[in-house]
Structure 1
Amino acid sequence: MYLKEFDLDIPYIVEDENIESIIKKQKCEYHEATKLDYELNWKWKRRSFRLETRCITAMYERLFGKYKTKDCWKVLIECVENISDERIVNDSGVCSVPIQCSLNDFDAKSELEKKKTTLRLLMDGIEKLALSNNWDIKPFQDIALQIEQLGYVNEWTWKKNIKSPNKKYYAKVICHHNVESMDIFISILQRDGTQVLLEKVISEQPDEFAYARHLGDLKWVSDFEVALINKKGTGKFLATLEH
C-alpha cells in the first residue's frame, strides 16, 4: 500500500446545549437534533476549514509523491480544541491522528499564517504517525522544508506548453492554489521564453472538485488567441495577444 494523500479536518463535536435547544424548538429526537445541529452549525465550518487548508495539503501531496506503508494510504489530521482520545485510528487505510488546534485562532490568522499553521498541524500529525508506525520521518520533513523554501506558494503548470499556429508563441496554463481561491491563468510566451501575456481567466474555490472541471484542453484558435476549454467542451476562456 502507498501513502499518497494528506488532509486536515475538524470532526463534529456534539454540544449538549445546542442539542437540547434544538430538541425543544423542533420537538424532535436526539439523533435528529444532532443531524440538524451539524447542518446548521458545523457543516459550513468544516467545509471552510478544509478549503482554507487544502492549498498546503495539496501542495504537500504534489511534492511528496508516495511512500510505501503496510496499511495506510491517507493521513487525516483531526484538528480538535481538546484531545480526549490520543489514539490513532486506521479505518480502511485512512489513518486519523488527533492534533490540538483552536479554530477561532486559525480563523483570525492572515493567509500566510494559515498556510504556516496548516503545515505545522500536518507535520505534528505525521510525526505522531511515523513514531507509531516506525516510518522514516526524513522524507516527510524534506517536503515540509521544500514548502517553506518555496514561501508556501502552491503554483504549478497544468500540462505542457503548446505552440501557436504561426510558431511564434507558446501558451500554458498556470494554477495558483491559494487559501481562499484557485486562480487559473493563461500564459503566452515568445520562443525565447519571454512572457508577453499573463491573464487570469478563472477564479474558483480552492478544491480539486471545484476547479478540475475547468481543465479540459488548451488550444490555439488563431495565431494570437488561445482558449482554455472545460472538460465537457461546453465552455471556454480566451486570452488574446495584441498585434
Structure 2
Amino acid sequence: MKLKEFDFDYPYEKNEDYIQSLLDDGYEYLQATKKDYEKNHKASRINFRMQTRCITAFVERLVEKVNTPNFWKILINCGSNIEKNENKVVGGVYEVDYELNIEEFMYLSDIEKKMMTLQVLKETVIKVFEELQIDSTDFEKACEQIKNCNYKNEWIWKKKKNKNFIAEIVLVHEVKTAQIFLRIYKNKEYIREFEILSTYPDEFYFSQYLGRIKWVDDKTVAIEQKNGINYLLIDINRGIIKDWSEKE
C-alpha cells in the first residue's frame, strides 16, 4: 500500500461540568455529550485540523509515495488529556496519539503554528517509520525543504502561454486561508497578479476551483472549475470581467 496523506485531529474531550449541568436539567447522558460536543468542541476540532493543513499538505506534495504494510494515511490524534493508546490501523489509517495543548497551540502566531505542526509531524512520522523499518530519508528531506523556504506553501498549479504572455495559477496555502492568484508574465518578466479566490485552508474548499486554464484571446484568460462548467474570465489589463457566479 502507498502512504499518500498525513493529517491531524483533535478527538472529543468532554467538558464534564457542562455535561453535569445538562444532566441536572434532565438530559440523558448521550444527549448531553452530543450537545457538549457541538457547543464546546466541534469548532476547535475543525479549526485545529484546518490550521495544520498547510504543512501536512506541503509534506504530501513534496514526499514521494512510500510503501507501507497496510495503511495509506498517518493520522495524529492530539489533545491535552489524550490517552496514549497503542498505535493502530483502522480502515487503512495509521493512528498515533500525541499529547499537545490545543488551546496553547491556537494562541501561537501563524509561523509558530507552522513550526510546531512540522515538529510534531516529523517527530511522529519518523518514529512510526523506525518502528516499521521504513526509510525516512525522503520524508526528512521534505521537512528540511519546508524549513528552508520559511514554511511558505506556495506553488504553481498550472500555466498557459500565448504569443506574448504566460498565465500562471498560483496557490498560496496559509494557516488560516488559502488564496488563488492569476499571475501574468511577459518574456518571463512579471507583469501583474489578480487574486481570484480566498477561502478556508483546506482542499475540500479550494480544490474545486483548480481546473483548466486557457487563453480566450490575446489578453483574456479563462479559468475553469473542476466541474468544467463554472469559469472566471480575466482581462489582463482590466481584471475580472466575469465572476464564478455570473451566468452567460
Same fold (TM over 0.5): yes
Q: CA deviation at 1:3?
A: 0.8
Aligned with 1:135: secondary structure?
Answer: coil
Counterpart of 1:70?
69
Residue type at the aligned position of 2:14: V
Residue type at the aligned position of 1:215: L
TM-score normalised by L of structure 2? 0.90
Correspondence 1:123-202 to 2 at 5 A: 123-159=122-158, 161-164=159-162, 167-190=163-186, 192-202=187-197
Residue type at the aligned position of 1:198: E
Taking a change above 3 Å as real, the CA distance of residues 82 and 88 of structure 1, as seen in their structure-2 partners, is same
C-alpha contact (below 8 Å) 1:88/1:129 kept by paired residues:
no
Q: CA deviation at 1:128?
A: 2.7
Output the CA distance in 2 between the equivalents of 1:125 and 1:18: 33
Output the CA distance in 1 between the equivalents of 2:47 and 2:120: 17
Q: CA deviation at 1:223?
A: 1.5
Correspondence 1:197-236 to 2 at 5 A: 197-232=192-227, 233-236=229-232
1:182-229 deviation per Cα after TM superposition (whole angstroms, max 9, x unaligned): 110001111x21111112111111111101121222222331121322
Taking a change above 3 Å as real, the CA distance of residues 74 and 28 of structure 1, as seen in their structure-2 partners, is same
CA RMSD in angstroms, aligned pairs only: 1.6
C-alpha contact (below 8 Å) 1:6/1:74 kept by paired residues:
yes
Aligned with 1:189: secondary structure?
Answer: strand
Residue type at the aligned position of 1:11: P
Higher alpha-carbon deviation: 212-221 or 91-100: 212-221
Give the aligned length. 237
C-alpha contact (below 8 Å) 2:184/2:193 kept by paired residues:
yes
TM-score normalised by L of structure 1? 0.91
Output the CA distance in 2 between the equivalents of 1:33 and 1:108: 28
| 1:21 aligned onto 2:21 | yes
Give the fraction of aligned pairs with identical amino acids, expressed as a percent.
36
Q: CA deviation at 1:235?
A: 4.0
Counterpart of 1:3?
3
C-alpha contact (below 8 Å) 1:186/1:239 kept by paired residues:
no
1:129-172 deviation per Cα after TM superposition (whole angstroms, max 9, x unaligned): 1232222232221111111112111111112x2123xx111111
Aligned with 2:83: secondary structure?
Answer: coil
Taking a change above 3 Å as real, the CA distance of residues 137 and 234 of structure 1, as seen in their structure-2 partners, is closer
Output the CA distance in 2 between the equivalents of 1:8 and 1:55: 11
Output the CA distance in 1 between the equivalents of 2:235 and 2:74: 39
Output the CA distance in 2 between the equivalents of 1:89 and 1:2: 17
C-alpha contact (below 8 Å) 2:155/2:171 kept by paired residues:
yes
Aligned with 2:221: secondary structure?
Answer: strand
1:21-40 deviation per Cα after TM superposition (whole angstroms, max 9, x unaligned): 22233x22111211111111
Counterpart of 2:244?
none
**Structure 2: unaligned runs, 5 residues or longer:** 239-248
Residue type at the aligned position of 1:162: K
Higher alpha-carbon deviation: 101-110 or 75-84: 75-84
